[in-house]
Chain A
Amino acid sequence: MNRYVPEFLLMFICAVAGIIAAGCSKKEASVVFAVGGAPAEIDFWEKTIQRFEEQSGIPVELLRQPTDTDQRRQNLVTALRASRSTPDLFLMDVAWIAQFAASEWLEPLAPFLEGSPLSINVFFEPVIRTAATYNGTLLALPVYVDAGLLYYRKDLLEKYGFAKPPELWDELVAMAHTIIRGESQEGNELTGFVWQGAQYEGLVCTFLEFAGSNGGGITIADSLPIVATDRNRSALAFMHGLVHSEKISPVNTGTDMKEEEVRFSFQKGAALFERNWPYAYSLHQADDSPVKGKTGIAVLPRFVGGTSAATLGGWHIGLSRFSRQKERAFALIAYLLSYEVQKASALEAGWNPGRTDIYGDSTIMERLPHLVTLHDVFSHAVSRPNVPWYSYLSSVLQRWLNAALTGTVPVDEALNKCEKELRVIVERYSTRKQH
C-alpha cells in the first residue's frame, strides 16, 4: 500500500496545479459578463458577444443567471460581497443600483467615458439622473429601459364608439363597464382591466403609477409621512375598488397577477385593458397571438388634477470594482451601448434602448412605430426611491399594499401600519447614521 503513496501525492499535486492554472489563465483571458435568463435574451447576447470578440479580439464569457429578478440579485450579491473579480460586468435592475452603489461594488464610469466615443448625452436624461447616478457619481448605464404602459383593445373601443383610449381612470372604468355589458349581451365574457397586484415588486410599481397620477407617491423626508397621505389613500382605495366594488379587475388580482399572468389574460383576448411593461407589445402583435392587430398602447390614465405616471424599470450595466480588467470590460460596455447594437437590440430582441437617438432611426420608425409612444412614456417616468435600502421599503410596502388590495386589512389601517413599519426601516438604515 505504502509504495503507492508518493504516486498518489504527485497525481494530487498535479491535479491541483492544473486546476489553479486553468482558473488563472481563464480569468486573465476573458471578460465575464453576467446576464439574465430568458432563452431569447441569452440568444441575443451570445450573437452580440460573438461579433464583439471578432471585432476586438477580447474574449468574453457569458455567465448565465436565473430568470427571476431576486435570484439574479442574490447571485451577484454573493459574488460581490466576497470581492470576487468575476463577473467583471453585470446587468442590474434599476431597483438595486443604489444598494450596489452604496456597497461600493460599482466602478465610477465617468473616467472611462472620457476617452471613449460613447457620450452620456445620448441616454434618457431622467434615467441617468434618477437611476444611474448615486450621490452625484455615474455608476451604471441603461442597456434597456422600461416603464408601465396601458394596453387596450383597439377593435373593442372602436366597436363601442370610443375614439381614444381613456385619459382619466374614471373614463377607463366607465368604458370597461359599457364594453363588458355590451359584450356579455353577445355572450362574450370579458374582464375589464388586468394589472400586477400580487405580493411582489410589481405591485409597488403599479401603486406608484396609481398614486403618482393622483399627485401622491413615496416621500423620504424627515417630517413628512412616507406613504400615509390622503392622495395615496384615495389611490389605493381606487385600486381596491377596481377589484371589489367596480369588479372590472379579476378577483385573483392580489394573488396571481404578475407580468406573465396579466399578459396571458390580455393576449388570449380575455381582457379589455392591461397594465404591463413594453415587452408585452411584440408578443401581443406576434403572428400566433389572438389580439394581433387589435392591440393599442397609450400612456397610463390619471386622476382628475394629476398627471400620468409610469414607473421606471429596465436594466443597467455595471462594472465591478473588483474587476482586474476594467479597461477591457469597459470596451465591451461601449460596444453594447453603441448605436448599432442598441438598434439591433430593439429590432431583434424587442428591447427599448436606453439611447434616445435610436427612437428617431428611420428603420425603427418604420418597423417599430410604437417606440414613438414609448419615447414619450420614458421621458415622464417616475423612479422608485433611489436609496440603498429600497428592498426593505419595498417588502414592507408589498405586504401592506397587498393586504389592502385583497381586503384582508382595510385601506386606512393598512397604510397607517405600513407607515409605522417604514418609519422603523428609514430610521434604521437612513444615511445620517451611517458615517
Chain B
Amino acid sequence: MGKRISRASSDTVWLAVLLMPALLLPVALILMPALCTFVNGCMQDVTFMPRRWAGLANYARLVQDPALFHSLRFTLLFIAVSVPLELACGLLLALLMQVQSPLRGMLRALVLIPWAIPAAIAGRVWELIYSYNWGPANYLVKLTGAPAVNWLGSSTGAFLAIVIADLWKTVPFVAIILLAGLSAIPEHLYRQAEVDGASFIRRFVAITLPLLRPVMIVAILFRTIDALRIFDLIYILTSGGPGGATSSLSLLGYTYFVGGDFGYGSAISTLIFLIALLVALLVVRIGRFGSSMR
C-alpha cells in the first residue's frame, strides 16, 4: 500500500518536472509581463514626477477619461464591423482557393502577399490610394466626372477607409486558416451527401459550416484580439484623426508612453489585456457550447 503511494507521488513529481518547461514559458512570457504591467499601473510612474505607489488612481482615472471612452468605443466598433466582414470575405476566398483549377497554386501564393507586407508599409500604400490630390481612388472618382472626395476627412469616411485597408491586409490570413479547415473535411462526406441528393447549399450548410466551426473560432479569436490592438495602420493612415475619430486604444496608450506617463500608459495596456482575455474566454466558451449541442 505504502509502496503504491510513494510511486504515485514520484510520478506526480516527474509529471511536474516534465511539465515545468511548458509551464514556465507562459508564466515568464505572458503572466509575468501582464502582472508587471498591472503593478506598474498602480504606480505614479511619470518621468517628470516622483515615483510612488498610487494604488488604483490610474485605474480610477480610466473610468473618468473621456478620451479613453472615445477610444474604447472606436475600437469596439472597429472589431464589430471588421471581424465579421473578414470572416465572410475570408470564407469566400477560401472556397475559391479550394476549387480545382489550373490557377489554384498561383491563387494560393498571390493571396498571401497582402498578409506578408508589413502593416506600416501597407499603411503608406493605402495612404497614397486615399490621397486627395494624387490618389488612385480619387482618380477613379474624377473619371466619372464627380468632384474629388476627401476620404479621410469625415469620421465615417476615415473609419471605413481603415476597415477597407484592414480587410485587404487580413482577409488572406483568415482565408488560409479556413482553407486548412476545409482541407481537413473528409471528401467522402460530400460524396455521400451528393448520392443522397443534397444540393450545393445544403451540403455547405450541413457539412462545411459545422465542420469548419472549430477553425472559425480560432480565426475569430486571432482577428478579434489583433483588431483590439490595432495601431500601425491607424498611426500611419490618420494618426487618430479627423478630430480623434479614429483613435484606437493602443494609439491612446502610445501617446502616454511617449509623453512620459508610464503608469497611466500601463493602466491602458492592462485594460486592453483584460478585454482581450474576456473576449478570448467568451469566444472559446461559445465555441465549446456549439460543439456540445451536436
Binding site for B on A (CB under 8 A): 70, 73-74, 77, 80-81, 99, 102-103, 105, 198-200, 250-252, 254-256, 265, 388-389, 391-392, 395-396, 399-400, 402-406, 408-409, 414, 417, 420-421, 424, 428-429, 434-435
B153 touches which one: A73, A252, A389 (CB < 8 A)?
A252
Contact A391 B255 (CB under 8 A): yes
Q: Closest Cβ of chain B: how far from A79's Cβ, in Å?
A: 12
What are 14 sample pairs from A and B whose C-beta atoms fall under 8 A apart? A74-B257, A102-B48, A198-B239, A252-B132, A252-B150, A252-B152, A255-B238, A389-B260, A399-B67, A404-B243, A414-B243, A421-B66, A424-B64, A434-B50
Q: Closest Cβ of chain A: how far from B42's Cβ, in Å?
A: 16
Inter-chain CA distance A434–B258, complex, in Å, is 20
Q: Which residues from B are CB-within-8-Å of A408?
A: 154-155, 242-243, 245
Size of B's binding interface in residues, CB under 8 A: 37
Inter-chain CA distance A243–B50, complex, in Å, is 45
Q: Which residues from B are CB-within-8-Å of A404?
A: 243
Contact A77 B153 (CB under 8 A): no
Contact B67 A428 (CB under 8 A): no
**Inter-chain pairs besides A388-B260, A409-B243, 5 sampled, C-beta below 8 Å:** A74-B258, A389-B48, A392-B259, A399-B240, A400-B243
Q: Which residues from A are CB-within-8-Å of B61?
A: 428
Contact A402 B243 (CB under 8 A): yes
Contact B132 A406 (CB under 8 A): no
Asked whether B247 is an interface residue with its Cβ less than 8 Å from the other chain, the reply is yes
Q: Closest Cβ of chain A: how far from B125's Cβ, in Å?
A: 15
Binary interface profile of B, 125-158, with partner A (CB < 8 Å = 1, else 0)?
A: 0000001110000000000000010101111001
Contact A255 B152 (CB under 8 A): yes
Q: Closest Cβ of chain B: how far from A73's Cβ, in Å?
A: 6
Asked whether B241 is an interface residue with its Cβ less than 8 Å from the other chain, the reply is yes
Asked whether B279 is an interface residue with its Cβ less than 8 Å from the other chain, the reply is no
Inter-chain CA distance A58–B238, complex, in Å, is 45
Nearest-CB residue, chain B, relative to A264: B133
Q: Which residues from B are CB-within-8-Å of A252?
A: 132-133, 150, 152-153
Binding site for A on B (CB under 8 A): 46-50, 61, 64-67, 131-133, 148, 150, 152-155, 158, 238-245, 247, 255-262
Nearest-CB residue, chain A, relative to B244: A399
Q: Closest Cβ of chain B: how far from A315's Cβ, in Å?
A: 17
Q: Closest Cβ of chain A: how far from B107's Cβ, in Å?
A: 35
A429 touches which one: B49, B155, B258 (CB < 8 A)?
B49
Q: Closest Cβ of chain B: how far from A199's Cβ, in Å?
A: 3
Contact A395 B255 (CB under 8 A): yes
Contact B132 A103 (CB under 8 A): no
Contact A255 B260 (CB under 8 A): no
Contact A199 B153 (CB under 8 A): no
Inter-chain CA distance A399–B47, complex, in Å, is 24
Inter-chain CA distance A255–B152, complex, in Å, is 6
User: Which 8 interchain pairs have the tightest Cβ spacing?
Assistant: A403-B243, A199-B241, A102-B48, A399-B244, A252-B132, A391-B259, A103-B47, A388-B48
Q: Closest Cβ of chain A: how far from B270's Cβ, in Å?
A: 18
Q: Which residues from B are CB-within-8-Å of A200?
A: 239
Contact B131 A256 (CB under 8 A): yes
Nearest-CB residue, chain B, relative to A403: B243
Inter-chain CA distance A302–B171, complex, in Å, is 52
Contact A77 B47 (CB under 8 A): yes
Residue from the set B154, B256, B260 with the largest chain A CB neighbour count within 10 Å: B260
Known A77-B47, A389-B48, A402-B241; contact A255-B259, beta-carbon cutoff 8 A:
no
Q: Which residues from B are CB-within-8-Å of A392?
A: 255-256, 259, 261
Inter-chain CA distance A252–B153, complex, in Å, is 7
Q: Which residues from A are CB-within-8-Å of B238?
A: 199, 255
Inter-chain CA distance A77–B46, complex, in Å, is 12
Q: Which residues from A are CB-within-8-Å of B66?
A: 417, 420-421
Q: Which residues from B are CB-within-8-Å of A417?
A: 66
Nearest-CB residue, chain A, relative to B259: A391
Nearest-CB residue, chain B, relative to A435: B50
A103 touches which one: B48, B131, B150, B158 (CB < 8 A)?
B48
Inter-chain CA distance A389–B67, complex, in Å, is 16
Inter-chain CA distance A392–B255, complex, in Å, is 8
Q: Which residues from A are CB-within-8-Å of B245?
A: 403, 408
Residue from the set A102, A403, A406, A424 with the largest chain B CB neighbour count within 10 Å: A406
